[in-house]
Amino acid sequence: MNRKTSIAGIAAAMLISGVLNAQSATVLYNDRVVELEQTLPDATDLWVKPEDLTRVNDFVLKPEGACLDALCVPVLQDRDSAMFVTRQGQAWFNVTELADKLQQAYVTDYNDGVWSFGTMPVTRQSFLRGGEAPDFELMGRDGEPVRLSDFRGKKVLLLTWASW
Amino acid sequence: MPVWQSIYEELKSENFEIISVAQDTGGEEAAGHFYDDANVTYTALIDVNHQISSLYNLVNVPSGVWVDEGGKIMRINEGTYAKTHFDGAWGTDDYVPIVRDWVAKGADSEYVWDRTKVRESIIQRTPEAERAQPAFRLGGYYFTGGNDEKAEQYWTMAQELDPTSWNYLRQDLQYEDGGSAGPEWSKRRAEIESAGGSYYAPLEIDN
């Protein structure tokens, strides 16, 4: 091909990669670190593709809304809203708007595009009001995940300590 | 830790498990050898993001939670030493006997709390304290990635958002001059105690 085309090709590739870099984000939730290649640029909010929503916080976007087990937060998907927009055929979901609705705290390093989310109070009422032990999953020292619920049927003494 | 191992040996055949969780950003390197040295056979975990303290609203170590066979909390948020340390300066040996009683008698143990007492013993977080945990998590992310400046920035933010958390303070001090039990920690502890407060949530053995 001639020189003109290849320069245009390089320029296009640079543009695309530049855009991708500008839109990438890292999300922290519990022990997970989720790298998102593309998010919708926004000065204050985190917009992700619907399929990335589940990677970020286990919510699934269904016709009735964003759902986690029995909990569903209604989301209109036939028009733009604070929670959901469509741009050039691509749907985007506003994770921070959902967090606000759930009273889930988050802290953001905007320079690096790192979003750190806290526990979700609305999913914790059985603990806070009912005294149910929150289940957890931590990676064991042998690399196998360990959950509190693995020990149902036993009395468990849960102890925290620290080396420091 | 050897004490908990001996208690585990004594009680494990009675449908009982100990889950011990190190709240340690330093991970295996910082905490692992304590488990190995004591040859523990109970469930021994290392929690680099202090997830258990976040989930159970705990602010100090050691802390203990009793969970019954059905996943209900029976006691929570107590400074749980297995024995007296440093000539009584820290902890007591009052906790182990009540654990034995619970394992033997279950819901009939006089040391089991009712629903109201459990609910009242769970620390309620302010909205600021809710934000402290993702701030601390963010600091840990930068610490792991070697960015000490940003780690310090977000760990400081976590302490400002939740000044009640000894875990956030002492994990941070671990990486500064003086260490996690140095002058800054002593000063903070003295401030709380002179104001009539308690460094550890007091053990309430007499119901």
- CA distance, residue A4 to nearest chain B CA (Å): 42
Domain boundary among B96, B121, B146: B121
What pLDDT was estimated at residue B88?
Answer: 59
Among residues of chain B, what percentage have pLDDT more than 90?
64
| Same domain? B45 vs B113 | yes
Instruction: Encode chain A (164 residues) as per-residue pLDDT tens digits.
Output: 444 445 455 444 444 444 444 489 999 998 999 999 999 999 899 999 999 999 999 999 999 999 998 899 999 999 999 999 999 999 999 999 999 999 999 999 999 999 999 998 888 999 999 999 999 999 999 999 999 999 999 999 999 998 88
| Same domain? B109 vs B132 | no
The answer to the question of residue B207 being in a domain is: no
The answer to the question of residue B201 being in a domain is: no
**Cβ pair A93, A36 in contact under 8 A:** no
Q: What is the pLDDT of residues B18-53, one digit of tens each?
A: 999 999 999 999 999 999 999 999 999 999 999 999
What pLDDT was estimated at residue A42?
Answer: 92
**Cβ pair B75, B64 in contact under 8 A:** yes
Domain boundary among B121, B151, B182: B121
**Cβ pair A148, A133 in contact under 8 A:** yes
Interface test with B, best of A103, A107, A147 (most B CBs within 10 A): A107
Q: What is the pLDDT of residues B90-99, one digit of tens each?
A: 566 788 899 9
What pLDDT was estimated at residue A20?
Answer: 43
Q: Give the Å distances, CA to CA, from A111 to A108, A142, B146, B159.
A: 9, 36, 17, 22
Q: Please give the residue that has the higher pLDDT: either B88 or B161.
A: B161
The answer to the question of residue B169 being in a domain is: yes
What pLDDT was estimated at residue A16?
Answer: 46
- Structural domain that includes position B112: 2-121
| Same domain? B24 vs B106 | yes
Query: What CATH number does residue B103 fall under?
Result: 3.40.30
Domain boundary among B121, B148, B169: B121
Band of pLDDT at residue B2, cut at 50, 70 and 90: confident
The residues, ordered by sequence, that sit 6+ positions from B200 with a Cβ below 8 Å of its Cβ are: B60, B78, B79, B91
Residue B102 DSSP SS3: helix
How far apart are alpha carbons B67 and B74 in whole angstroms? Answer: 6
| Same domain? B17 vs B104 | yes
User: Of A60-64, A127-131, B12-16, B200-204, where does mean pLDDT reach its minimum?
Assistant: B200-204
| Same domain? B26 vs B70 | yes
| Same domain? B27 vs B69 | yes
| Same domain? B80 vs B170 | no
- Which residues in chain B touch residue A138, judged by CB atoms under 8 angstroms apart? 21, 45-47, 51-52
With an 8 Å Cβ cutoff, are B122 and A117 in contact?
A: no
What pLDDT was estimated at residue A19?
Answer: 45
Mean pLDDT of B71-76: 96
| Same domain? B55 vs B36 | yes
| Same domain? B131 vs B117 | no
Structure tokens at A139: 């990676």
Residue B110: count of CB within 10 angstroms of its CB: 11
By residue count, chain A amounts to: 164
Mean pLDDT of B55-68: 93
Domains contained in chain B, number: 2
Among residues of chain A, what percentage have pLDDT more than 90?
78
Query: What CATH number does residue B148 fall under?
Result: 1.25.40
The answer to the question of residue B142 being in a domain is: yes
With an 8 Å Cβ cutoff, are A157 and B16 in contact?
A: yes
B38 burial level (CB within 10 Å; 0-12, 13-18, 19+):
middle
Structure tokens at B4: 């908990």
Q: What is the pLDDT of residues B106-123, one digit of tens each?
A: 999 999 999 999 999 999
Whole-prediction pTM value? 0.86
| Same domain? B143 vs B109 | no
| Same domain? B106 vs B17 | yes
- CA distance, residue B103 to nearest chain A CA (Å): 7
